């Protein structure tokens, strides 16, 4: 393998106009508005879910994606029929980005039987195989080998597609991630490893957790890599398009580090007062909010009017309320549901081949 | 009927399933070019090619995770662990991802993988390479666990495991790879969860599985010959699903039970069995349930002493006599 293959993809300077990248230039006005709408819908969904959490309607963890919306929306907007997505526990944005209905998503948070995982998974475990979305995984870095496995299956079946395996910046220090990097490169798997670098692995800054540059580690595995800003959905799309094409056309993996920021704590259990300042968050929100930035762009492009932007926001808030109302009205699963969806065979008794007891007391 | 080794029986099952289903892929360390660390996969690369028989680096979490991910899209990977002891470095993949993904997705996903390899002591390789994790694995709802004792069972159960839509963990034994037995050629499928009476008897039920079946059969010979005791040896074959009914049927016949397992005693497969027998057949018992396990310590290296740490015919005989009171 030549050294050329590990060269970093030069990315975003402020001077680069990512809107002119072919993958963006060809977007229709409607498609641009749809990108904006998805980001707004994610944010309003999550704000609504936080209120529900504070009202004690939701148990466990709630890892909010607020501030990172352009990453999932930009990446997932590039998906073709054989492209697949897997991510970690901060998964609400990806689920909405791939097109999941917000009602079952909210109901899952409420622990209701109408939830996308029937109330069995919770916030960290959203799945929708019909939309090529494979979760929603709770253990840091544990989903990354699975993402390489999705790519393995695509290649094995001769399908032209790519897997996007998302992780946070904290995951890059997990062994499973490095094992997946090695296998993906060794076996020429069509996977893009996406590091959503929001600067903090829980309450530990990148400087305190990771030696060296994060994406650059890919070079050690003979993979191409790139870095870009995650505040500009055009930039995310321009960068990811190159690497998705590399995967689909050449069966080569890559690693893309997308710099982003979360406005909320690691989870709702994080008081967010030990590792960063309120000024830092405010500064970010003021200057690099992905939704505001994209709204400004679309206004300048005359694709969007202030009135349309307002209407989209109003509709997104209403959609989130509808999802919350749906969840509120939905039934909880019953204790009888605890032991379904454990074994395929138990759920498909007509096709069961094994004998003996599957469950114990 | 052809007489072949346990090793060949496993190989035949792999070859037949590779032949039958194009989505079956054999992968693991040294399975292809090296012909298998224990020669189980010998010749499969030459016959099926590198797309179907895949060498992996020493990277258990990585390649097992890849197999699980691929299985979600319909591939049926049969992954070899050179030793089941190495499951510990892939624990998160095996028992968080494979075991839970169906449940956490509300039944939208299934994970038709097989992980197979030897899990046994007795080869003087010390504590790190001698784990018998069937109890640990079976503790996780969503998975199936198989521990075959004979060549015929190994073939028939592995074919079922590969066709199963749930994750199946298949625990072989390096000490059994050279054991010979009659094995039907061609299609021979034994359902998971079906125990087998390896020797009928009337005075004592020895419930066991894996290599301990052989020790128990040897002890039963001596019991018959020297003590006029008729011991029934019941081979569980599958730990989960568990053929509880077969155990209860045998207990109802003999009224005395000895459980023999190559397991550390604390929270072992035998612990679960003993609970179930007393709960469901209390009135059938003429005495307390006895158990023979591995002596409770990490696996000792010293070759002659390791023999005594594990179940062996002498220890089984002694335990049986104690169980008979």
**HEC sequence for A294-305:** HHHHHHHCCCCC
DSSP single-letter state for residue B97: I
Rounded CA separation B76/B84 (Å): 19
B289 touches chain A (CB under 8 A): no
A129 touches chain B (CB under 8 A): yes
pLDDT of residue B61: 98
Rounded CA separation A111/A120 (Å): 7
Beta-carbon separation of A354 and B164 below 8 A: yes
pLDDT of residue A6: 55
Beta-carbon separation of A145 and B68 below 8 A: yes
Picking from A147, A359, A360, the nearest residue to B69 by CB comes out as: A147
pLDDT of residue A271: 87
- Residue spans of chain A under pLDDT 70: 1-15
Rounded CA separation A200/B188 (Å): 55
Contact map slice: A 296-355 vs B, CB within 8 A: 339-345, 347-348, 353-355
A271 touches chain B (CB under 8 A): no
Question: Contact at 8 Å (CB) between A86 and A164?
Answer: yes
Q: State which residue of chain B sits closest to A113, comparing Cα positions.
A: B106
* Chain A residues touching residue B68 (CB < 8 angstroms): 145-146, 149
User: ipTM beyond 0.95?
Assistant: yes
pLDDT tens profile B108-119: 999 999 999 999
Q: What is the Cα gyration radius of chain B?
A: 19
Cis peptide before A136 (omega within 30 of 0): yes
Beta-carbon separation of B104 and A142 below 8 A: no
Q: State which residue of chain A sits closest to B190, comparing Cα positions.
A: A354
pLDDT of residue A297: 97
Question: Contact at 8 Å (CB) between B211 and B262?
Answer: yes
Q: Mutate one of B55, B75, B103, B191 to test the A interface: name it (highest A CB count within 10 A).
A: B103
Contact map slice: B 93-152 vs A, CB within 8 A: 93, 96-97, 101-110, 112, 141-142, 144
Please name which of B17, B5, B11 lies closest in space to residue B189, comparing C-alpha atoms.
B17
* Number of separate helices (H) and strands (E) present in chain A: 13, 8
pLDDT of residue A3: 40
Q: What values do phi and psi take at A227, rounded to 5?
A: -135, 145
DSSP single-letter state for residue A120: S
Helix (H) or strand (E) holding B116: strand B114-118
Contact map slice: A 12-41 vs B, CB within 8 A: none
Q: For residue B317, count CB atoms less than 10 angstroms from its CB and return exposed for 0-12, middle for 13-18, buried for 19 or more.
A: buried
Contacts 24+ apart (CB under 8 A), A15-19: A16/A235, A18/A232, A18/A234, A18/A235, A18/A237, A18/A238, A19/A234, A19/A297, A19/A301
**Active-site annotation of B, residues:** 129
Q: If pLDDT is split at 50, 70 and 90, which confidence band does B51 have?
A: very high
Please name which of B224, B63, B209 lies closest in space to residue B149, comparing C-alpha atoms.
B209
pLDDT of residue A2: 39
Please name which of A354, A335, A360 lies closest in space to residue B280, comparing C-alpha atoms.
A360
Q: How many CB pairs under 8 A join A and B?
A: 194
Beta-carbon separation of A118 and B107 below 8 A: yes
B37 pLDDT exceeds 60?
yes
Please name which of B1, B4, B59 lies closest in space to residue B30, comparing C-alpha atoms.
B59
Least confident of A258-272, B174-188, B230-244: A258-272
pLDDT of residue A189: 98
Beta-carbon separation of B103 and A342 below 8 A: yes
pLDDT tens profile B282-298: 999 999 999 999 999 99
Helix (H) or strand (E) holding A31: helix A29-54
pLDDT tens profile B182-227: 999 999 999 999 999 999 999 999 999 999 999 999 999 999 999 9
pLDDT of residue A357: 98
Contact map slice: A 41-60 vs B, CB within 8 A: none
pLDDT of residue B269: 98
SS3 A343: coil
Rounded CA separation B297/A296 (Å): 68
How close, in Å, is residue B182 to chain A by CA atoms? 23
Rounded CA separation B162/B10 (Å): 12
Q: For residue B280, count CB atoms less than 10 angstroms from its CB and return exposed for 0-12, middle for 13-18, buried for 19 or more.
A: middle
User: Which residues face B204 on adjacent strands?
Assistant: B231
How close, in Å, is residue A345 to chain B by CA atoms? 7
Kindly list the distances between the CA atom of residue A2 and the CA atoms of A120, A181, A217, A247, A289, in Å, as whole numbers in the listed order. Answer: 47, 18, 17, 17, 39
SS3 A164: strand
How close, in Å, is residue A334 to chain B by CA atoms? 14
Contact map slice: B 40-59 vs A, CB within 8 A: 51, 56-57, 59
pLDDT of residue A4: 43
Contact map slice: A 61-90 vs B, CB within 8 A: 84, 86
Beta-carbon separation of B57 and A182 below 8 A: yes
Helix axes A69-76, A29-54, angle to 10 degrees: 140
Question: Contact at 8 Å (CB) between B6 and B172?
Answer: yes
DSSP B216-268: HHHHHHHHHHHH---EEEEE--EEESB-HHHHHHHHHHH--EEEE-SS-STT-
Please name which of B62, B142, B56 lies closest in space to residue B95, comparing C-alpha atoms.
B142
* Chain B residues touching residue A348 (CB < 8 angstroms): 165
């Amino acid at each position: 393998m030549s050294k050329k293959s590990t060269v970093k993809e030069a990315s975003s300077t402020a001077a680069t106009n990512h809107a002119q990248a072919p993958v963006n230039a060809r977007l229709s006005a409607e498609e641009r508005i749809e990108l904006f709408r998805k980001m707004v819908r994610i944010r309003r969904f999550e704000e609504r879910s936080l209120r529900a959490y504070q009202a004690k309607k939701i148990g466990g963890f709630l890892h909010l994606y607020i501030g990172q919306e352009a990453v999932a929306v930009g990446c997932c907007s590039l998906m073709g029929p054989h492209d697949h997505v897997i991510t970690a526990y901060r998964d609400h944005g990806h689920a909405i980005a791939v097109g999941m209905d917000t009602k079952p998503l909210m109901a899952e948070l409420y622990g209701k039987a109408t939830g996308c995982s029937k109330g069995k998974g919770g916030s960290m475990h959203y799945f929708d195989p019909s939309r090529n979305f494979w979760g929603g995984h709770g253990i840091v870095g544990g989903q990354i080998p699975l993402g390489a496995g999705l790519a393995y299956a695509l290649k094995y079946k001769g399908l032209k597609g790519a897997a996007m395996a998302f992780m946070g910046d904290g995951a890059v220090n997990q062994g499973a991630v490095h094992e997946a990097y090695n296998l993906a490169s060794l076996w020429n798997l069509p996977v893009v490893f996406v590091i959503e670098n929001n600067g903090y692995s829980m309450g530990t800054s990148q400087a305190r957790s990771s030696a060296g540059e994060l994406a650059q580690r890919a070079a050690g595995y003979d993979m191409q890599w790139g870095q870009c800003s995650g505040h500009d959905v055009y930039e995310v799309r321009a960068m990811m398009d190159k690497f998705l094409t590399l995967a689909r056309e050449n069966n080569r993996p890559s690693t893309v580090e997308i710099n982003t920021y979360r406005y909320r704590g690691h989870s709702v259990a994080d008081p967010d007062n030990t590792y960063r300042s309120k000024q830092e968050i405010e500064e970010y929100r003021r200057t690099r909010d992905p939704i505001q930035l994209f709204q400004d762009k679309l206004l300048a492009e005359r694709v969007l009017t202030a009135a349309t932007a307002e209407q989209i926001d109003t509709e997104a808030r209403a959609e989130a309320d509808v999802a919350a109302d749906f969840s509120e009205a939905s039934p909880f699963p019953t204790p009888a549901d605890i032991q379904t969806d454990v074994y395929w065979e138990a759920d498909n008794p007509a096709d069961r081949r094994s004998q003996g007891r599957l469950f114990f007391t | 009927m052809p007489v072949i080794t346990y090793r060949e029986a496993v190989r035949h099952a792999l070859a037949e399933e590779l032949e039958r289903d194009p989505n079956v892929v054999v992968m693991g360390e040294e399975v292809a070019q090296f012909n298998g660390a224990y020669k189980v996969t010998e010749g499969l690369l030459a016959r099926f090619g590198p797309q179907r028989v895949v060498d992996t680096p020493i990277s258990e979490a990585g390649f097992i995770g890849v197999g699980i991910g691929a299985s979600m899209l319909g591939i049926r990977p049969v992954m070899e662990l050179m030793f089941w002891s190495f499951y510990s470095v892939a624990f998160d993949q095996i028992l968080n991802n494979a075991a839970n993904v169906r449940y956490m997705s509300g039944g939208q996903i299934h994970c038709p993988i097989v992980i197979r390899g030897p899990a046994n002591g007795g080869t003087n390789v010390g504590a790190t390479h001698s784990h018998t994790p069937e109890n640990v694995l079976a503790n996780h709802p969503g998975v199936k666990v198989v521990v075959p004792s004979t060549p015929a069972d190994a073939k028939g159960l592995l074919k079922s495991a590969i066709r199963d839509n749930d994750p199946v963990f298949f625990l072989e034994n390096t000490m059994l790879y050279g054991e010979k037995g009659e094995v039907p050629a061609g299609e021979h499928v034994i359902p998971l969860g079906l125990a087998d009476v390896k020797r009928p008897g009337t005075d004592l039920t020895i419930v066991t599985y894996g290599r301990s079946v052989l020790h128990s059969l040897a002890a039963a010979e001596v019991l018959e010959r020297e003590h006029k005791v008729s011991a029934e040896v019941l081979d569980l074959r599958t730990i989960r699903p568990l053929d509880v009914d077969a155990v209860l049927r045998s207990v109802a016949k003999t009224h005395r039970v000895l459980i023999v397992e190559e397991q550390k005693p604390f929270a072992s497969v035998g612990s679960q069995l003993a609970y179930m027998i007393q709960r469901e057949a209390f009135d059938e018992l003429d005495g307390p349930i006895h158990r023979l396990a591995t002596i409770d310590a990490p696996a000792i290296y010293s070759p002659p002493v390791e023999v005594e740490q594990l179940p062996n015919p002498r220890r089984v005989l002694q335990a049986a006599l104690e169980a008979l009171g």
